[in-house]
Amino acid sequence: MALRDYEKDMQRCPRCSECKWVPLAKIKSWRFAQVCPSIGRYNFHSYSGGGRLIMGMSVLTGRIDYTDDYVDILYRCQMCGGCDISCKCNKDMEPLAIAQELRIKAVEDGQVSPVHMLLIDGLKKEDNMMQGKKADRGKWAEGLDVKDITQDRADIYFHAGCRYSFDEELWPDVRGAVNLLRKAGLEVGIGGKEENCCGCRAYEMGYKGELTKYAESNFDMLKAAGAKQIVTACAECYYGFKVLYPRFLKDLGIEVLHITEYLARLVQEGKLAPTKNTPLRVTYHDPCHLGRLGEPYVPWDGVEKKVFQQMYIYEPPKPWRKGTNGVYEAPRDVIRSIPGVELVEMERIKEYAWCCGAGGGVIDGYADFAQWTAMERMEEAKTTGAEAIVTACPWCKRNFTDAIAESGEKLKVFDVVELIEQAIR
């Protein structure tokens, strides 16, 4: 769909400001009532989901042309979907899709963030979003002795993703993920240096072409490998395979799972047994792309029509993605299975979790904003009395780790994988 396809949504915006808050039923305090980091930090209405929608309409209808602030406002957004879920709780609208189309249009019109451009150049040259060398992509797996999916068949394709591939500090987590699967007796293959970016991050920056390019290429590779399951430990890659690929390409015909989903299954089946007592009070941070954005994409091709004279519905009924079916419980089940670990919840969780701050190109282009967002989350985590914040995405972990280092906070950061790995003898 193009921006013009959302014109009615833009006209329908009641300017109610729900997009700034956690779904209203879920507000538990004054302090942690907001859901949108962008307006939380910058305050002008244009920074909210509804604000971008109006801005977009202004450009679409020719009221305004691109302005300096327009581009800045557009990209100072993690594309976290918080506004989307809050708006959709009470309305049938698509704020996130509109924000996405605005970025795509901006890129088409040459209104780009210079930092994003740099990353995309790197992507085009080296097939990754980390400004790393393609040849180095597989280094994280050295010594693991795991199948190369381009050479051998494997039922499970494990996709590391760009962040895990090039962020050496995080390698223990991604290695741990593979090790856990193999410990459960599963046959895993990886792409190694032949692994390519999923394209999701580039898409969120507005580069739709990169997504479709990598989607096709990855699809071909997976088909050739005969993989039955894709497993990833990166929430953004999960979103790419689970939601974006079926949307823009076709259904892969392969089951897509996040590592936490798989681990939850394995624990339940008794194939993995965390037995070592790990006394720790933790709180879990729902990554946006695993949680509210991670619910499956169901293709729909329909029309809007009116019933009751002036009420609009969709025919056939639209399979709304309102955050209801994201991956929320699997990571929690894994955490709860670890002896000694006490899980306490923050106020903003699941479909209305506060973003870590890294998404949408923000960690790259607006580091201070990414850090501000992360520190907000740290404040919230501290109120639970937790010693550690646990997440299931390397982007979240990176951003939290950097924020803690910068601020001197004592909170620890774990990935679900590393937590359970510690508890398995």
Closest to 350 (Cα-Cα) out of 325, 372, 375, 373: 325
Q: Which CB sits closer to another protein, 30 or 425?
A: 30
**28 part of the interface to another protein, by CB under 8 A:** yes
Q: What is the 3-state secondary structure (H, E, C) of the chain?
A: CCHHHHHHHHHHCCCCCHHHECCHHHCCCCCCCECCHHHHHHCCHHHCHHHHHHHHHHHHCCCCCCCHHHHHHHHCCCCCCHHHHHHHHHCCCCHHHHHHHHHHHHHHCCCCCHHHHHHHHHHHHHCCCCCCCHHHHHHHHCCCCCEECCCCCCCEEEECCHHHHHCHHHHHHHHHHHHHHHHCCCCEEECHHHCCCCCHHHHHHCCHHHHHHHHHHHHHHHHHHCCCEEEECCHHHHHHHHHHHHHHCCCCCCEEEEHHHHHHHHHHCCCCCCCCCCCEEEEECCCCCCCCCCCCCCCCCCEEEEECCCEEEEECCCCCCCCCCCCCHHHHHHHHCCCCEEECCCCCCHHHCCCCCCHHHHHHHCHHHHHHHHHHHHHHHHHCCCCEEEECCHHHHHHHHHHHHHHCCCCEEEEHHHHHHHHCC
Q: In whole angstroms, how close is the CB of 239 to another protein at the nearest point?
A: 18
Q: In whole angstroms, how close is the CB of 376 to another protein at the nearest point?
A: 14
Q: Which CB sits closer to another protein, 46 or 78?
A: 46
Q: Which CB sits closer to another protein, 26 or 397?
A: 26
Among residues 76, 88, 105, 242, the one that binds another protein under rule CB under 8 A: 88
Among residues 323, 357, 359, 360, the one that binds another protein under rule CB under 8 A: 323
Q: Taking the alpha carbons of 87, 88, 91, 93 in that order, is the dihedral positive or negative? A: positive
**27 part of the interface to another protein, by CB under 8 A:** yes
**113 part of the interface to another protein, by CB under 8 A:** no
Which 297-316 positions form the footprint of another protein (CB under 8 A)? 306-314
Question: x/- site string to another protein, residues 257 to 296, per CB under 8 A?
Answer: ----------------------------------------
Reading the block at residue 55, the tokens are: 């801005």
Q: Which CB sits closer to another protein, 207 or 328?
A: 328
Q: Which CB sits closer to another protein, 89 or 424?
A: 89
Residue type at 409 in one-letter notation = E
Reading the block at residue 103, the tokens are: 């970025």
Reading the block at residue 108, the tokens are: 């088409």
Q: In whole angstroms, how close is the CB of 94 to another protein at the nearest point?
A: 12
33: burial class by Cβ within 10 Å (0-12, 13-18, 19+)? middle
Which 38-77 positions form the footprint of another protein (CB under 8 A)? 42-46, 50-51, 54-55, 57-58, 63-64, 67-70, 73
Among residues 320, 336, 383, 401, the one that binds another protein under rule CB under 8 A: 320
**318 part of the interface to another protein, by CB under 8 A:** yes
**15 part of the interface to another protein, by CB under 8 A:** yes
Q: In whole angstroms, how close is the CB of 52 to another protein at the nearest point?
A: 9
**229 part of the interface to another protein, by CB under 8 A:** no
**11 part of the interface to another protein, by CB under 8 A:** yes
Among residues 116, 159, 332, 350, the one that binds another protein under rule CB under 8 A: 350
With CB under 8 A as the rule, give the number of residues binding another protein. Answer: 64
Q: In whole angstroms, how close is the CB of 243 to another protein at the nearest point?
A: 17
Q: In whole angstroms, how close is the CB of 86 to another protein at the nearest point?
A: 8
Query: What are the b/e assignments for 174-193, b being 16+ CB within 10 Å?
Result: bbbbbbbbbebebebbbbbb
Q: Which CB sits closer to another protein, 84 or 195?
A: 84
**367 part of the interface to another protein, by CB under 8 A:** no
**151 part of the interface to another protein, by CB under 8 A:** no
Q: Which CB sits closer to another protein, 11 or 407?
A: 11
Q: Which CB sits closer to another protein, 275 or 312?
A: 312
Which 164-183 positions form the footprint of another protein (CB under 8 A)? none
**33 part of the interface to another protein, by CB under 8 A:** yes
Catalog residues that contact another protein under the rule CB under 8 A: 8, 11-18, 20-21, 23-30, 33, 42-46, 50-51, 54-55, 57-58, 63-64, 67-70, 73, 85-86, 88-92, 306-314, 317-318, 320, 322-324, 328, 350-352
